[in-house]
Amino acid sequence: MTLTLENVGAAGLTGPLYSGVDLAVGPGECVCITGPTGCGKSTLLRTMAGLHDPGPGRVLFDGQPVSRALPGRIGLILQNPDTQLLCPDVGSELAFGLENLRVPPAEMTPRMLRALSRVGLGALPLDRPVGALSVGQKYKLLLAAMLVMEPRILLLDEPCAQLDQDGIDALNAILENFLAAGGSVVLCEHDPAPLRAIGRILGIADRALRPAAAPSHGTLPAPPSAPGKSTVATLTDACLTLGEKRIWEHLDFTLHTGEIAIIQGDNGSGKTSLLRCLTGFEALTGGSAAVFGQAPAPKALRGRVGLLVQNPARQLTADTVLDEVSFPLTYRRLPKARCRDLAMGILEKLDLASLADRPPFLLSHGEQHLVALASVLAVEPELLLLDDPFVGLDPASTARVWGILHQASLGGASVICALHRRPAAHGAHSVLELRGTGLSAC
Amino acid sequence: MLNGSSRHIPRVSQTQLILRMAAAMTLAMGALFWHGPWSLTALTLGTAALAVAVGAHRHPWKRLALVFVWQVVLVMALYLLRYGAQSLPDGALVAGRLVLLVLPGVLLMRTTHHGEMARLLVRVLPARMGFVLSTCVFFFPTLWSVTVQTYESQVLRGARILPRELVNPLNWGTLVRVICLPAIVSSLALARDVALAAHCRWYGLHPDRTVWPGPNPSDTTGEPRA
């Protein structure tokens, strides 16, 4: 059972992505594909699954074109579990693929229970609502929903992107079991280091797939200067309860002028809620919050606080990058030409001027991310709140974002980055861990 | 202001859910097609009864009421401008009927668990239609949460789209530009992702599918459904 790619190529919207790709993946092998953001890693993975045209070449599964492979033998899992879990409860989710393959109903439940135990969710009742699961459990359920169809090859697109450390540990165990049973895995990941099962690393560079070394994290420059003395934001003995669930309590936090702080916490630990409390969109259930010396209120913080949400590329709506960045400046009632000049200045500062006339939708994920950040920075906020700003970014783009944050810090802006995993390298002044019982330095 | 925080929605039995959905649909259809004498009175009483039955008073309702008040004022203002003061009673009737058309569905969505509705739709409708409708209902909270995030970041960037600022029609264009258009883009991206995820699990491979009997095997027979 081998997956073979012969002379595979693909083109993107702005030109060829890669060509002449030859690859063979045998049983028990785990291959990782790396490369800069937008180089075509996901496209290659979809080509292996038969969902994308292989160009002049072909993709074979056991010598047969992949389109003729037995249904269910190749399983592709994309990045975000939230958009791939299609059913309201665990049982329906596991049964979905089996129903599509017309598996007799009597065989379904035993197969589903086996798949659940393979991913370590054996204790989960089949009628448990999917919405009640953590992100890590959702990813495991997605793996089980694929394993229930008994695939021989698993294709995983950035499996670590949404997972905290516990989720990655569980994924390692699942992949090792799958490989030991003779399965094959091909995955795309910017940073292969957390996954022990990877046996071979290939990289897309100069439009070709070549053997590659694990990308180095390098060393990011230290934060530009020590934080100032004046306080920008504080939380004092803060508590938050959502519905009937206590998210965190006894949380104390102080951020000073020019300080860059990382708040790291597992999936569901309440990082996004913490940022919302600092903007006044979410009310604390206990304790107090202050931003710029006052209780946070969206109207008062307008223009002073910049918020970059998860997956910011979805917010891009303008025809060109320059329009996208200049649009928030129009709120200041400046003449249009002045707004465009200021926006161009920001793009030059961030080394994005060459993209000014290009439509944001045609940019790579990393470039879209940087444009969204430029759009937030356009109004020169004094406090930047960034929710998982490095998800899906390659090391080069990550370093560029840190450079942007250091520039902002030099200008007196304070920054809070909420991350779901402690980064291997960072350029922040402080790293704090968020737990249900509060924040602690780490 | 949009509310992004999670609310606790009590679970109900399948029979209660069917009754709620049937009542909401009947009332909305009544508002659309039944124009007989006393129709508005009967529909208003029916909607009020539905609100009590689903426990609407336990959910935040002031903002919702404000939206409907603005809608009534807007419709009556348009009637006044177009047809003059003598048409105001007609305007009030149309505005009231619009409220009665939308309100049952809004009550249902706010007080009923989306996952349960999705599950019911899959069971009672033909397979393909059930999948499409249940997916729409199931992914509504995801889309809503993305829209809330966008709204909050745009407000902080300077967009004048807080509830009181939307009284000024000059700010409506901003709302469309920074919230409605991204919401449409997000929904298209979500639809693409969902379709791809379904395709990855071989949805559509055969014209019919078998049906998992569920934790309780008496629910379905497991026969293929077209």
| B7, B162, B182 ranked by CB distance to A317: nearest | B182
Fold of A231-441: Rossmann fold (3.40.50)
Q: Is A61 left (phi over 0), alpha (psi -120 to 50) or beta?
A: beta
* pLDDT at residue number A332: 78
**Angle subtended at Cα A258 by Cα A257 and Cα A262, rounded to the nearest 5 degrees:** 105
- State how far the alpha carbon of A189 is from the alpha carbons of A3, A37, B209, in Å: 19, 10, 35
Looking at the complex, does the CB of residue A334 fall below 8 Å from at least one CB of chain B? no
Are the beta carbons of B158 and A276 separated by less than 8 Å?
no
Q: Which residue has the tokens 């009737």?
A: B93
On the question of pLDDT at B47 being above 90, the answer is yes
Taking CA–CA distances from A126, the nearest residue in chain B reads: B215
**A49 φ, ψ (degrees, to nearest 5):** -85, 0
* pLDDT at residue number A217: 64
Which of A83, A292, A311 should one mutate to test binding to chain B, selecting the residue with the greatest count of B CBs within 10 A?
A83
Q: How far apart are CA B121 and CA B127, in angstroms?
A: 9
**Angle subtended at Cα A117 by Cα A114 and Cα A123, rounded to the nearest 5 degrees:** 120
Q: How far apart are CA B101 and CA B103, in angstroms?
A: 6
Instruction: Tell whether B157 and B199 lie within a shared domain.
Output: yes
pLDDT-derived band of residue B99, with 50, 70 and 90 as boundaries? very high
* Amino acid making up residue B71: Q
Q: Which residue has the tokens 């060109």?
A: A320
Instruction: Tell whether B75 and B142 lie within a shared domain.
Output: no
* pLDDT at residue number B131: 79
pLDDT in tens, chain A (442 residues): 789 999 999 987 667 889 999 999 999 999 999 988 778 898 999 999 988 899 899 999 988 888 777 788 899 998 888 889 988 789 989 999 999 999 998 999 999 999 999 888 888 888 888 877 877 888 899 999 999 999 999 999 999 887 888 888 889 999 999 999 999 999 999 888 889 999 999 999 888 999 988 777 667 777 877 778 899 999 999 999 887 788 899 999 999 999 999 999 887 788 989 999 999 999 999 999 999 999 999 999 998 999 998 777 767 778 899 999 998 888 878 888 888 998 998 898 878 888 899 888 777 777 888 888 889 888 889 999 999 888 878 888 888 888 889 988 988 999 999 998 887 778 899 999 998 778 888 7
* pLDDT at residue number B5: 40
* pLDDT at residue number B187: 87
Residue A429, SS3 per DSSP: coil
Looking at the complex, does the CB of residue A332 fall below 8 Å from at least one CB of chain B? yes
Domains A3-211 and A231-441 share a fold: yes
* pLDDT at residue number A13: 67
Domain A3-211 has CATH 3.40.50.300: yes
* pLDDT at residue number A163: 83
Instruction: Tell whether B107 and B198 lie within a shared domain.
Output: no
* pLDDT at residue number B54: 85
**Angle subtended at Cα A162 by Cα A156 and Cα A168, rounded to the nearest 5 degrees:** 70
Cβ atoms of residues A13 and A38 within 8 Å: no
Residue A440, SS3 per DSSP: strand
Looking at the complex, does the CB of residue A292 fall below 8 Å from at least one CB of chain B? no
* pLDDT at residue number B74: 87
Domain count, chain B: 2
* pLDDT at residue number A418: 93
Domain ranges for chain A, please list them. 3-211, 231-441
Q: Domain containing B175: what range?
A: 125-205
Looking at the complex, does the CB of residue A56 fall below 8 Å from at least one CB of chain B? no
As a whole number of Å, the CA-based R_g of chain B is 21
Q: Which of A220-234, B29-43, B60-74 has the highest mean pLDDT?
A: B29-43
Taking CA–CA distances from A80, the nearest residue in chain B reads: B193
| B7, B150, B198 ranked by CB distance to A309: nearest | B150
How long a stretch of residues is chain A? 442
| Min distance A140 CA to chain B CA atoms (Å) | 15
Nearest of A315, A298, A307 to residue A382 by alpha carbon: A307
Are the beta carbons of A298 and B146 separated by less than 8 Å?
no
On the question of pLDDT at B162 being above 50, the answer is yes
Cβ atoms of residues A442 and A431 within 8 Å: yes
| Min distance A431 CA to chain B CA atoms (Å) | 24
On the question of pLDDT at B39 being above 80, the answer is yes
Of B112, B135, B160, the domain-final residue: B112
Is B211 contained in some domain? no
Of B68, B89, B112, the domain-final residue: B112
| Min distance A84 CA to chain B CA atoms (Å) | 5
Query: Residue range B1-28: average pLDDT?
Result: 72
| Min distance A35 CA to chain B CA atoms (Å) | 23
Instruction: Tell whether B97 and B167 lie within a shared domain.
Output: no
Are the beta carbons of B200 and A77 separated by less than 8 Å?
yes
Instruction: Tell whether B66 and B132 lie within a shared domain.
Output: no
| Lowest-pLDDT range of A242-251, B54-63, B175-184, B204-213 | B54-63
* Amino acid making up residue A439: L
Query: Residue range B152-160: average pLDDT?
Result: 89
On the question of pLDDT at B220 being above 60, the answer is no
On the question of pLDDT at B115 being above 70, the answer is no
| Min distance B64 CA to chain A CA atoms (Å) | 18
* Amino acid making up residue B81: L
Q: How far apart are CA A86 and CA B136, in angstroms?
A: 10
Instruction: Tell whether B104 and B132 lie within a shared domain.
Output: no
Residues of B in Cβ contact (< 8 Å) with A80? 193
Are the beta carbons of A82 and B208 separated by less than 8 Å?
no
| A99, A109, A315 ranked by CB distance to B182: nearest | A315
Q: Which residue has the tokens 């000014």?
A: A356
Query: What value of ipTM does the predicted structure carry?
Result: 0.84
Nearest of A254, A262, A259, A256 to residue A224 by alpha carbon: A259
Are the beta carbons of B158 and A328 separated by less than 8 Å?
yes
